[in-house]
């Protein structure tokens, strides 16, 4: 009783503490704020400078010499050697500032900005790729020793399988029309002009430029679709061999691989290897189609322009695109597979202990480290100073998730199970992934804290439904991915994201100086509607695609190992023993 009393007191204290900033912020922010007198109101954003060099718009300054694709990186000049500009006497000016014209200096500086952004994008991608080791360690440690090699191998194999699928068709479907996505006025790619080649897709109805005051269609088509569905350029990276595109491809590929690996945890210890292999080649299909709808200029991103729902679906780094999609696929796969032998019997849930908790904790820290590439890297720009806000919010949400899980366990009269604490931290990181750039630090703590509480109750909820998830992937990624998407529509503060998804609302610009993404607590209820629509779509689309695939793939090769293999353990029957031919056992499925 003392422990329970302590737990509930902690919950009440935490709730009271977190409620204070919520109440104060809600009281301070009304929407839309009344515009000040015209003479004092900030001016609307100026029209794009038509004299900017062509590399800002992705067009060539000389139509007879197309610049892109550019595999060399010299799209805006010659960069590895001194400037080719001429001084006032007609001699090579080199890099002497006093001898360079303004345009020449502009070119050199712009190239450096593109280079910084590209290097940042690649380094962030390296961190996300390293997260694969964290996922492998968490999932393997939470499974039984007899399945350790099989679980680790699934996490290993999903990387090359997913990469080939993304190269062959995924990138084209998700990002083939990226350059035509709805963007802020005056926008240009932070990675350089080469991304302009991503300009082909399929959809419904032509899109037109919008009037800033009324949001009505003008008579100028943008070249995109009103309701974008898929991209159609870049299969096998054919015809888009540009340095900017290569950086975008790499970064987005490691994101997709995160989605691909999530179901390996929910379906562990009974998933047949052959069925898993063809899954690895398929998973890019649902991921990239949905990614196009949110990140590639598709119809969910356009919900702000088409239906005046805030800034459309906003998901900064993928709570929905990456995590909710992976969790939903894992949920469907776990349902189709059924529970592990002995997990539920005699009306009881029988605990199946993890075999290596230290591995789980180490893997969690690797994931938390990699998340600093996952979220801040999604700026795609090392020159975007908002990176520091994203970093701090990411850290706070992860730590709040772990502590909230701790308090929740005590409140339920349970001991602080380390695996649940790790899942609490990961749940906080998943939840903050969508709103990390748009919220204040107090909101990051609230979002992470709610995630830590949700993950505990969610794990017990799925167990009551007899849906066997050995590592808690459905709760961590699926449930809290959805929570993260919704939280944008609640806590976004309007300080960032001006012009996001092409939405610029004149009344907000006049009243606040910009039109950043803001949630219902800061006056824009329509953004919450957009986020709720996004949640419904990912659930319906993810369930439909995954259920159809797992049923079809089961006809190709069985999805579940035979009973005797599961009892023995999957390591030898499914994977063999490297280096010991006498112990290699042929798979019996």
Q: Is pLDDT larger for residue 231 or for residue 74?
A: 231
Q: Is pLDDT larger for residue 91 or for residue 301?
A: 301
Would residue 498 count as lying in a domain? yes
Question: Over 80: is that where the pLDDT of 52 sits?
Answer: no
Report the SS3 class of residue 208.
strand
Would residue 64 count as lying in a domain? no
Q: Is 227 left (phi over 0), alpha (psi -120 to 50) or beta?
A: beta
Question: Over 50: is that where the pLDDT of 224 sits?
Answer: yes
Pairing status of strand 217-231 against strand 201-210: antiparallel
Question: Over 80: is that where the pLDDT of 76 sits?
Answer: no
Determine what percent of the chain falls in helix, strand and coil, rounding each to the nearest 5: 60, 5, 35
pLDDT-wise least confident of 11-20, 47-56, 261-270, 530-539: 11-20
Amino acid 88: pLDDT: 66
pLDDT band at 588 (very low <50, low <70, confident <90, very high): very low
The C-alpha torsion from 39 through 45 and 47 to 48, rounded to 10°, is 150
Would residue 452 count as lying in a domain? yes
Q: Which among 454, 125, 85 has a CA at the least distance from the CA of 257? A: 125
Amino acid 15: pLDDT: 56
Which structural domain, as residue segments, surrounds residue 506?
A: 112-575
Q: Is pLDDT larger for residue 570 or for residue 211?
A: 570
pLDDT band at 572 (very low <50, low <70, confident <90, very high): very high
Amino acid 69: pLDDT: 77
* pLDDT per residue as tens digits for the range 441-456: 999 999 999 999 999 9
Q: How many CA atoms lie within 13 A of 98 on its CB side?
A: 0
% of the chain at pLDDT higher than 70:
80
Would residue 523 count as lying in a domain? yes
Report the SS3 class of residue 175.
helix
- Count of the separate structural domains present in the chain: 1
Residue 408 burial (CB count, 10 A): 24
* Mean pLDDT on 220-249: 89
Q: Which among 533, 539, 488, 485 has a CA at the least distance from the CA of 319? A: 485
Q: Which among 287, 369, 291 has a CA at the least distance from the CA of 546? A: 287
In sequence order, the β-bridge partners of residue 204 are 227
Amino acid 115: pLDDT: 87
pLDDT band at 17 (very low <50, low <70, confident <90, very high): very low
Amino acid 444: pLDDT: 98
Would residue 414 count as lying in a domain? yes
Q: How many CA atoms lie within 13 A of 118 on its CB side?
A: 19
Question: Over 80: is that where the pLDDT of 27 sits?
Answer: no
Amino acid 210: pLDDT: 62
* pLDDT per residue as tens digits for the range 104-152: 777 777 878 888 999 999 999 999 999 999 999 999 999 999 999 999 9
* Mean pLDDT on 527-556: 98
Would residue 76 count as lying in a domain? no
Amino acid 412: pLDDT: 96
Angle at 251 between CA 528 and CA 179, to 5 degrees: 65
Q: For residue 49, what are the contacts with CB-CB under 8 A and spacing of at least 6? A: 186
DSSP character string of 462-487: HHHTT---TT-HIIIIIIHHHHHHHH
* pLDDT per residue as tens digits for the range 393-408: 999 999 999 999 999 9
Would residue 558 count as lying in a domain? yes
% of the chain at pLDDT higher than 90:
67
pLDDT band at 248 (very low <50, low <70, confident <90, very high): very high
Q: Is 276 left (phi over 0), alpha (psi -120 to 50) or beta?
A: alpha
Amino acid 545: pLDDT: 98
Contact 57, 180 (CB under 8 A): no
Question: Over 80: is that where the pLDDT of 438 sits?
Answer: yes
Amino acid 23: pLDDT: 43
Average pLDDT of the residues of the chain: 86
Amino acid 24: pLDDT: 44
Would residue 461 count as lying in a domain? yes
Q: What is the rounded end-to-end Cα distance, in angstroms, of the chain?
A: 51
Amino acid 313: pLDDT: 98
CATH number (domain holding residue 252)? 1.10.3430.10
For residue 536, report the phi and psi dihedrals to the nearest 5 degrees. Answer: -60, -45
Residue 86 burial (CB count, 10 A): 14
Amino acid 18: pLDDT: 47
* pLDDT per residue as tens digits for the range 362-388: 999 999 999 999 999 999 999 998 999
């Amino acid at each position: 009783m003392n422990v329970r009393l302590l737990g509930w007191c902690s919950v009440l204290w935490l709730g009271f503490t977190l409620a204070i900033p919520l109440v104060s912020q809600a009281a301070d922010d009304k929407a839309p704020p009344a515009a000040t007198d015209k003479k004092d109101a900030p001016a609307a954003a100026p029209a794009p400078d038509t004299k900017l060099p062509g590399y800002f718009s992705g067009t060539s300054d000389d139509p007879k010499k197309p610049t892109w694709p550019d595999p060399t990186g010299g799209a805006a000049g010659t960069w590895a050697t001194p400037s080719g500009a001429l001084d006032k006497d007609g001699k090579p000016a080199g890099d002497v500032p006093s001898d360079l014209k303004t345009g020449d200096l502009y070119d050199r500086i712009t190239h450096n900005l593109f280079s910084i952004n590209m290097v940042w994008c690649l380094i962030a991608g390296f961190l996300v790729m390293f997260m694969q080791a964290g996922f492998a360690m968490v999932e393997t440690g939470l499974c039984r020793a007899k399945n350790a090699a099989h679980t680790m191998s699934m996490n290993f194999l999903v990387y090359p399988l997913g990469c080939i699928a993304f190269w062959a068709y995924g990138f084209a479907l998700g990002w083939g029309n990226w350059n035509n996505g709805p963007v802020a006025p005056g926008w240009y790619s932070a990675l350089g002009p080469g991304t302009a080649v991503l300009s082909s897709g399929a959809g419904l109805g032509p899109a037109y430029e919008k009037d800033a005051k009324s949001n009505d269609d003008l008579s100028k088509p943008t070249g995109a679709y009103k309701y974008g569905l898929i991209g159609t350029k870049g299969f096998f990276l054919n015809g888009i061999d540009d340095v900017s595109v290569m950086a975008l491809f790499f970064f987005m590929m490691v994101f997709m691989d995160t989605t691909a690996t999530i179901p390996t945890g929910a379906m562990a210890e009974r998933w047949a290897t052959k069925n898993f292999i063809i899954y690895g080649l398929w998973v890019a299909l649902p991921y990239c189609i949905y990614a196009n709808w949110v990140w590639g200029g598709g119809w969910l991103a356009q919900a702000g322009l088409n239906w005046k729902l805030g800034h459309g679906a906003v998901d900064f780094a993928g709570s929905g695109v990456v995590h909710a999609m992976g969790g939903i696929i894992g949920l469907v796969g776990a349902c189709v597979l059924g529970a592990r032998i002995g997990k539920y019997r005699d009306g009881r849930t029988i605990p199946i202990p993890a075999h290596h908790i230290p591995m789980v904790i180490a893997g969690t820290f690797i994931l938390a480290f990699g998340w600093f590439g996952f979220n801040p890297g999604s700026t795609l720009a090392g020159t975007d100073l908002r990176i520091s806000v994203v970093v701090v919010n990411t850290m706070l949400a992860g730590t709040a998730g772990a502590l909230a899980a701790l308090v929740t366990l005590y409140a339920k009269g349970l001991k602080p199970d380390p695996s649940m604490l790790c899942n609490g931290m990961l749940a906080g990181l998943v939840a903050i992934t969508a709103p990390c750039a748009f919220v204040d630090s107090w909101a990051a703590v609230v979002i992470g804290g709610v995630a830590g509480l949700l993950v505990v109750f969610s794990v017990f909820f799925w167990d009551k439904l007899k849906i066997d998830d050995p590592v808690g992937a459905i709760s961590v990624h699926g449930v809290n991915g959805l929570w993260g998407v919704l939280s944008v529509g609640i806590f976004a503060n309007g300080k960032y994201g001006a012009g996001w998804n092409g939405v610029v609302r004149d009344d907000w610009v006049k009243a606040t100086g910009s039109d950043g993404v803001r949630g219902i607590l800061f006056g824009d209820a329509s953004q919450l509607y957009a986020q709720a629509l996004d949640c419904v779509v990912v659930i319906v689309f993810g369930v439909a695609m995954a259920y159809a695939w797992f049923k079809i793939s089961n006809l190709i090769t069985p999805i579940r190992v035979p009973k005797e293999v599961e009892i023995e353990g999957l390591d030898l029957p499914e994977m063999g023993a490297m280096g010991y031919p006498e112990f290699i056992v042929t798979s019996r499925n």
